[in-house]
Amino acid sequence: MVKPILKYEEIDLQKLSRKSYGDDSELEERVAEIITRIKDQGDQALRELTLKYDGVDLLKTGLKVEQSEFEAAYKQIDRGFFQALKQAIENIKEYHERQKRNSWLQTAEDGSVMGQLIRPLQRVGIYVPGGTAAYPSSVLMNALPAAVAGVEQIVMVSPPRPDGSLLPEVLVAAAECGIKEVYKIGGAQAIAALAYGTETIMPVDKITGPGNIYVTLAKKQLYGTVDIDMLAGPSEILILADQTGQPQELAADLLSQAEHDKLASAVLISPDRALLDSTVKEVKRQIELLPRAEIAREAWEKYGAAILVRDLEQGMELVNKIAPEHFELVVEDPFAWLGKVKNAGAVFLGRNTPEAVGDYFAGPNHILPTGGTARFYSVLDVDAFVKKISFINYSEEALKRDAEAIMILARREGLEAHARSIEVRIK
């Protein structure tokens, strides 16, 4: 069955923006129980839950990845992958180096000094998904901004394969990023272990990286115990195209996200009805050629859409309402429209910039806000791994000058001790 073309007036914005993802009280309770078990029972609960959900006995395979496993991983990868990985690391590091901030201070004529210290977080946990696919690229996108920020300890967790190992490519990616501490755990139990710590795992200050719904809900519940990057949902791609778009290319780009997950979203918007029709037919043809055809087909059928708009202006209005994770702007002059983008995780400009360029290689991060949260969340970057500390040094002259105003404000709030802490110094 060929997916019908929707008109602007027919769309379900709630469904397109995926804002309801994660609204499941039963799952919330299940995740809360897992978190409590890890908090109370530590390593024992980790072993039991890993055996239950992943079918892996950590007593036999070991919880922590040993040096010998890193060494074995290097022998299992091919040269082409390693060279591509090294180049990707170089590109990603170079891009993120430009994001670094420096501490600063300013002095006034009265001798006062004020400023801000930029300090890296000390210990960060990164989550790398497993399950239906494994993602060495996610290792890079989590670890490299943290390393550039100056984080001293980066610990990685990832669900084990049935034999209790991690994918060699994932281990090599971790090693190349300087990560020495890796644990074979996943799901909500891994997030809880990072947050609270166990007998083996020290707690972290922040957890980053996408995962399944259990991972997302665990991060949601543990925010405050630790910091998190964002609440990531299923992958999304939205393409706004004009008559210059090529159906074969557009279909391939839509499926690049649909193959991720049965819950992934792939949306094409255009004022060109013929382009929409041709692309929808091309999606149907290309799906059958994919190794992950079953996943891509279900995602396209449930969460895919082809939407006809009046013009590109109306299309851009819809884009900003949806606030997509990945936004491809496939139009004749993409830079003319870039200034109109208000809400998106990342923007890919022109037909020579498919989303996969950003996923793996160009340099910008691929850990992006989903589910409409691009309205207020940002891409994962170096800023996510630092904290900002303000400092003040008032001179005697400045204190005398400002004392009266400070005391007025303090007393208006009913905080007399605040006011007296100023008053005692100027008598």
What pLDDT, on a 0 to 100 scale, did the predictor assign at position 3?
Answer: 78
In a domain, 370, yes or no: no
User: Residue 289 forms beta bridges with which residues?
Assistant: none
Instruction: Please give the model's pTM, rounded to 2 decimal places.
Output: 0.93
Task: Mark whether 163 and 244 lie in a shared domain.
Answer: no
Class of residue 69 by CB neighbours under 10 A (exposed 0-12, middle 13-18, buried 19+): middle
Q: Is residue 142 included in any domain, yes or no? A: yes
Annotated catalytic residue, options 176, 236, 249, 325: 325
323 in the same domain as 263:
yes
Residue 118, pLDDT score? 98
Residue 260 annotated to the active site = no
Same domain, 332 and 406: no
pLDDT at 131: 59
**Shared domain check, 353 and 223:** no
Q: Residue 408's domain spans which residues? A: 396-426
Query: What CATH number does the domain containing 86 carry?
Result: 3.40.50.1980
pLDDT beneath 70: ranges in the chain: 1-2, 18-22, 131-133
- Residue where a domain stops, chosen among 307, 336, 362: 362
Instruction: Report the pLDDT value the prediction gives residue 14, as an integer from 0 to 100.
Output: 77
Q: Looking at the domain assignment, is residue 310 inside a domain?
A: yes
Q: Crossing angle, helix 43-54 and helix 25-41, to 10 degrees?
A: 140
Task: Tell me how crowded residue 362 is: count the other CB atoms within 10 A of its CB.
Answer: 16
Q: Are residues 187 and 247 in the same domain?
A: no
- What is d(CA 300, CA 280) in angstroms, rounded to the nearest whole number? 10
Question: Does residue 12 lie in a domain region?
Answer: yes
**Contact (CB, 8 A) for 143 and 179:** yes
Active-site residue 169, yes or no? no
* 376 within domain boundaries: no
Cβ atoms of residues 345 and 369 within 8 Å: yes
Residue type, 326: H
CA distance 5 to 237: 17
pLDDT at 427: 80
Closest CA to 169 of 141, 137, 136: 136
- Clarify whether residues 47 and 14 are in a common domain: no
* Active-site residue identified among 176, 236, 259, 326: 326
For residue 98, count CB atoms less than 10 angstroms from its CB and return exposed for 0-12, middle for 13-18, buried for 19 or more.
exposed
Alpha-carbon distance of 397 to 417, in angstroms, equals: 22
**Domain annotation covers residue 358:** yes
Which of 176, 196, 228 is a domain's end point?
Answer: 228
Residue 95 within a domain? yes
- CA–CA dist 268, 35 (Å, integer): 39
Say yes or no: 208 and 259 in one domain.
no
Distances (CA, A) of 225 to 33, 170, 390: 16, 28, 23
Per the structure block, which two tokens stand in for 70? 């890193």
Count of the separate structural domains present in the chain: 3
pLDDT tens readout for residues 183-236: 999 999 999 999 999 999 999 999 999 999 999 999 999 999 999 999 988 999
Same domain membership, residue 271 and residue 198: no
